Structures are given as C-alpha cells and as structure tokens.
Amino acid sequence: MIETPSITLRYFDCRGRVQPLRYYLRARNISFIDARISMKDGAAAWIEIKHDQRLTGPFLKLPVLHWGELQLAESPVIHEWLHRKLGDEARLSEQENLQHAMLSSSCRSELMVPTGMLLYQDLMYTGTELGATLPGIVQRLNAHLLVLEQALNDWHWFDKAKLRPVMLADCLLWEELDKLQTIFGEHVQWTALPSLQDFLANSAGAVVFRRMLSEHPCQMTGRPQEADAVARIQTALQTNNQITK
C-alpha cells in the first residue's frame, strides 16, 4: 500500500463526477474517508456547509479532495494531480499519457455530459419532448462508442491495461459504460463493441467497482426522482421506432 497522508474525498451521496475517483482509490488500496453529503431534506446538509471554504474549496463546490493539508477542487484537476502524484504518469510513455488524457476528456465530454443532460432534460428545458431529442442522443452516443472502440484497439489500450495498475481513465471509462448500460440497455450497440463490452465485464477493476456499488447503492446523479427520469427514458426507448438497436 502506498504511504499517504490522511485523505478525505468530499462529494454528494451520488455517483456523479466523483465515482471514478472512489473506484480509483479503492482499487489502488489507498485509504481515504469517503465523505458523502446527504441530498435529502431539501439538501439541508449541503446548505449547512456550502459557504465553508475549508470544506467546499475556493469555489464553494464539490468535489474537494483533502490530501493532508493540501486541498484540491475540480474533478479534472484532482484526476490530473493524482495521476502524477501516485506515479501513473511515470509508468506511461509520453504518447500513452496523451492517450490517457484524451480518453479521460472524451469520457467526460462525449459520455458523461450528454447522459447527465438527458437525465436533467425535463428540469432544465421545460416543455422539451423526450421523444424528439432521445433518438439523436442515442445515435450520437452509439456513433462515439464505435469510434472509441476503434481508437482504444488501435492504441492497444486494453492489452496494456492488463499489465499495469488500474488508472483513472480506466475508472472513468468503466463508470460511463456502466451508466450507459443502466440507462439505455440493449439500445447501446454492444454487439459492435466487443472490446468495450469485455472491458465492462472483465476489466481488472470491474470486481472492485461492482462491489462498491453494491455496498453503497446511490443515484447516478443528484437529480431529484432520478429513478422516474430513467423509467421515462426507457419507456421512450421501447416506444420510439426512430431509435435503432
């Protein structure tokens, strides 16, 4: 186990932007306090601490990582800092570090963001019809996954991943694939994505990640009534004939 100072990772009691960090620290056997802020009772727990920069960082937002006396905010910054601090940057070549950064960025911008916006659509864009926007979102996600499958195979990413410790880009990728499977199911073109499908089922961290989700079930996002939103999406997927499997 790597020697570290006391570590606290503070975020809401949902998966959100911080779940890959939880996966990473657990998979790498790094002890940390998983400080989760309840979203119940009108977010009373969050309101109580929001303006305390000692807890919520310079921007009064979460996540915040406390590494001993050091405080880090913004999840991409935390990811990049841990990638260097825990020796992963040194384990990879210059080209592999660029690939790690590109994969991380792609997971956030092309998978996490559109999925999160879809779950919040009725709250953010009142009056927008789910049936009108869903086909385009699903088609774009599937198109990107095909490109991602090809790129990662070209990089020999999955073969190399078997020979090294779990890294943050692996955790990001697994988390987003798992959420896609949960929300879209068979409407993700898994048969055209054998490498990604195998990574989701059998990657080095998958057992740890699934155990963590089982030990502490929680929402994918902070959206109120998220289960109802997912159910509406799944109903629309079944009834909209514009959405191909």
Residue 240 has a pLDDT of 74
What ranges do the domains of the chain cover?
7-85, 93-239
What pLDDT was estimated at residue 183?
A: 97
Average pLDDT, integer, range 34-52: 95
Query: What are the structure tokens assigned to 227, written together?
Result: 């289960």
Q: Return the minimum-mean-pLDDT range out of 15-29, 53-67, 173-187, 231-245.
A: 231-245
Mean pLDDT throughout 72-95? Answer: 98
- Percentages (nearest 5) of helix, strand, coil residues in the chain: 60, 10, 30
Using pLDDT thresholds of 50, 70 and 90, give the confidence band for residue 1. Answer: low
Per-residue pLDDT averaged across 209-222, rounded?
Answer: 97
Q: Is the four-CA dihedral 12, 16, 18, 24 of positive or negative sign? A: positive
Cα 238 from chain centroid (whole Å): 26
Residue written as token pair 């020999």: 156
DSSP 107: I
Q: What is the largest CA-CA distance in the chain?
A: 55
pLDDT at 241: 59
Q: Answer yes or no: is pLDDT of 7 > 60.
A: yes
CA 41 to CA 159: how far, in whole Å? 46
Task: State mean pLDDT over 35-52.
Answer: 95
Task: Output the DSSP codes for 111-163.
Answer: IIHHHHHHHTHHHHSTT--HHHHHHHHHHHHHHHHHHHHHHHHHTTHHHHHTT
| Fold of the domain built from segment(s) 7-85 | Glutaredoxin (3.40.30)
Annotation: CATH topology of 93-239? Glutathione S-transferase Yfyf (Class Pi); Chain A, domain 2 (1.20.1050)
pLDDT at 24: 98
126 — pLDDT class (breaks 50, 70, 90):
confident
Residue 113's nearest CA partner among 200, 24, 176 is 176
pLDDT for 42: 87
